[in-house]
């Protein structure tokens, strides 16, 4: 739970902007002085999860302010924003632990488990059991796992996902929109279908995210 503060918003924003990865910060408070939202624009040299922790620590150490991580929103620039010497930013690899699906009547459920930084994150969704619907559920479950990893600092919308034929190869293609306080931007990702469609859809969806965030790769 956060608390009321009489510290000037400009001071909080200035202090957050001094964190190495943060390029800009905007703080929204209620009339009573309670922090409602913290919006941050950052370089992709740290994962959103780590940035959220840094912001929480900075606010507590500098102002004695405790804030719910759900109130922190992070938009990360692409790797093109990095100085040349920082282009080789550290990778935060997502390992697919499992992708499971079940069908009961006209409804389907999908669970995707990803391992990131030694921890497991689970995305679970349900919806129509059509072939197209099941493909979308796999991608949505992958996005849900990533949002759990990011502690809600990232928000995604799935535009579309499909398995297409390119020559002799079948390819999973996913289009994802990153939603931030600064606006929306859509990105696509792809992965060859090797062992099964579900894993390939997860990889394509993560590939789409990586095109924007520049911090996530799959293994």
> Taking 60 as the threshold, does the pLDDT of residue 5 lie above it?
no
Residue 69 has pLDDT above 90, yes or no: no
Residue-range domains of the chain with CATH: 9-86 (3.30.300.30), 92-213 (3.30.160.270)
Q: With contact defined as beta carbons under 8 Å apart, do 147 and 207 qualify?
A: no
24-29 contacts: CB < 8 A, separation 24 or more?
Answer: 26/181, 29/5
pLDDT at 211: 57
Q: What is the pLDDT of residues 162-178, one digit of tens each?
A: 999 998 899 999 999 98
| pLDDT of 217 higher than 60 | no
Q: According to the model, what pLDDT value does residue 86 have?
A: 43
In this predicted structure, the answer to whether residue 71 has a pLDDT above a threshold of 70 is yes
- What is the overall mean pLDDT for the chain? 82
Question: Strands 169-180 and 155-166, how do they pair?
Answer: antiparallel
The model's pLDDT over 94-144, given as tens digits with 9 standing for 90+, comes to: 789 999 999 998 999 999 999 887 889 999 999 988 888 999 999 999 999
């Amino acid at each position: 739970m956060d608390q009321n503060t009489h510290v000037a918003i400009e001071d909080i924003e200035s202090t957050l902007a001094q964190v190495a990865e943060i390029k800009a910060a905007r703080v929204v408070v209620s009339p009573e002085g309670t922090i409602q939202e913290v919006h941050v624009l950052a370089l992709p040299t740290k994962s959103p999860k780590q940035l959220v922790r840094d912001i929480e620590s900075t606010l507590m150490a500098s102002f004695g302010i405790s804030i719910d991580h759900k109130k922190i929103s992070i938009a990360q620039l692409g790797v093109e924003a990095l100085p040349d010497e920082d282009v080789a930013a550290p990778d935060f690899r997502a390992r697919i632990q499992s992708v499971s699906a079940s069908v009961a009547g006209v409804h389907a459920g999908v669970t995707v488990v990803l391992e990131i930084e030694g921890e497991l994150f689970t995305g679970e969704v349900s919806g129509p059991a059509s072939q197209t619907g099941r493909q979308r559920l796999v991608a949505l479950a992958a996005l849900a796992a990533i949002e759990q990893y990011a502690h809600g600092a990232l928000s995604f919308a799935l535009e579309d996902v499909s398995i297409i034929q390119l020559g002799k190869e079948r390819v999973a293609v996913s289009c994802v929109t990153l939603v931030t306080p600064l606006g929306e931007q859509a990105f696509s990702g792809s992965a060859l279908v090797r062992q099964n469609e579900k894993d390939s859809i997860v990889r394509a969806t993560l590939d789409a995210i990586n095109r924007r965030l520049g911090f996530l790769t799959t293994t």
